[in-house]
Amino acid sequence: MYPVTQSLRQYLYHYDRQREIPSVYNELRRFTGAVPYEDPNGHETLWLSVMYPQDVLAELRLKLTSIYTELKLGRNTEQHEHLFVDRIDYGDFGNSKPFRIKVTNVFNDNSDYFYVKQTDASRIYGLELEHILSPNRMNYLINGNTLVEEHIAGVPGDVFLRDYLSQPGLNKVRIAKEFTKFTERSFIRLLGDMRSVNYVVDITPDFEEVQYRVRAIDFDQQSYEGNGNIYQAFRFNSNRKITRLAFQVLNRKSIDQYVAEEYSQMARRAKVESSRLRALLGIMRREDLAPIDHLTRLAGDLDRMHATQGFGDCKSMGELTAMHISLMLDLSPS
């Protein structure tokens, strides 16, 4: 866990991420019981459904529904009495130790989810870089040690590869194209550990075909690991099926075309959000976000990958990340 410095908090306040929401993470840790959560098909998951004393739960429900309305509707929202906290799940994994909150509208029984996690600078930088450089908008808020994130809808990557990839009618070229672009996008901004459990596939029926978008859901490994292969999603064993499919249905020219498209789109987003990106990377450069041996090893790996010598001069992971983004997107150094 890396602390959120005053400079980063000022940035978050300026861009309306810092809000006066209840800081509830420590309170959520006060659960007195837990049972394994099973998915709708009866399969056990890594989540635990947790229980609280009645007085603690009553207080938590008020705070959690107010957080949900702040996340969805913004400032000065009234308490919505028709919203009910239906279930609280706890994940004892990762460094964020997340809670997943299920909120249900009692009028129509429609449910939604959001997550409460420990604040961590690495994760915040990952969320911000995703918001700025990817086609996806990220909705999250922080206060104190509490980080609140909107649920990202989609089929979990491991489930998609297991249950969907072999279905008849799957547009193999389109999913291969999107995974290629996702892999390149993650590498450019140095988001690591994109194994299949750390992304989802958003499936959208179109007027003739089905569209796919691969979206990261875990940002803990932003610019942290020293092994350069960690930032290349196709190298993970859990992604072997989709990697093999991509090489089967896409030739080299097509892969180069989709990679070039992603470069162009990311460069365009970086230029549109140049002030915000420059401010974020300027703070990131000055912060300690990884052990020095990780920095040294990653600099060496990137120098080999790009046949350069400049990464070895970087004094921080933030400086290295800024240099990598500038190099890959052909941007002027900020």
Confidence of residue 291 (pLDDT cuts 50, 70, 90): very high
Which amino acid is present at 200? Answer: V
- Rg, the chain, Cα only: 21
φ and ψ at residue 212, rounded to 5 degrees? -125, 145
The pLDDT of 67-83, averaged and rounded, is: 78
Sequence-separated (6 or more) residues with CB below 8 Å from residue 330: 263, 267
301 close to 227: Cβ distance less than 8 angstroms = yes
Confidence of residue 264 (pLDDT cuts 50, 70, 90): very high
213 close to 204: Cβ distance less than 8 angstroms = yes
Of 295, 179, 284, nearest in space to 227 by CA:
295
Distance CA(246)–CA(236), nearest Å, equals: 14
Number of other CB atoms surrounding residue 36 within 10 Å? 10
Query: What are the sequence ranges of the domains in the chain?
Result: 6-119+140-150, 155-329
pLDDT at position 74: 77
Q: What is the dihedral of CA 117, 3, 23, 105, to 10 degrees?
A: -30
Structure confidence by residue, pLDDT tens digits, 167-215: 988 999 999 999 999 999 999 999 999 999 999 999 998 888 889 999 9
Structure confidence by residue, pLDDT tens digits, 6-19: 999 999 999 999 99
What is the enclosing helix (H) or strand (E) of 213?
strand 210-216
Mean pLDDT check: name the lowest of 69-78, 82-91, 320-329.
Answer: 69-78
Distance CA(330)–CA(271), nearest Å, equals: 11
Average pLDDT, the chain: 93
Distance CA(231)–CA(152), nearest Å, equals: 21
Distance CA(156)–CA(264), nearest Å, equals: 28
pLDDT at position 76: 53
Sequence-separated (6 or more) residues with CB below 8 Å from residue 117: 25, 96, 97, 98, 99, 123, 146, 147, 148, 149
- pTM here is 0.94
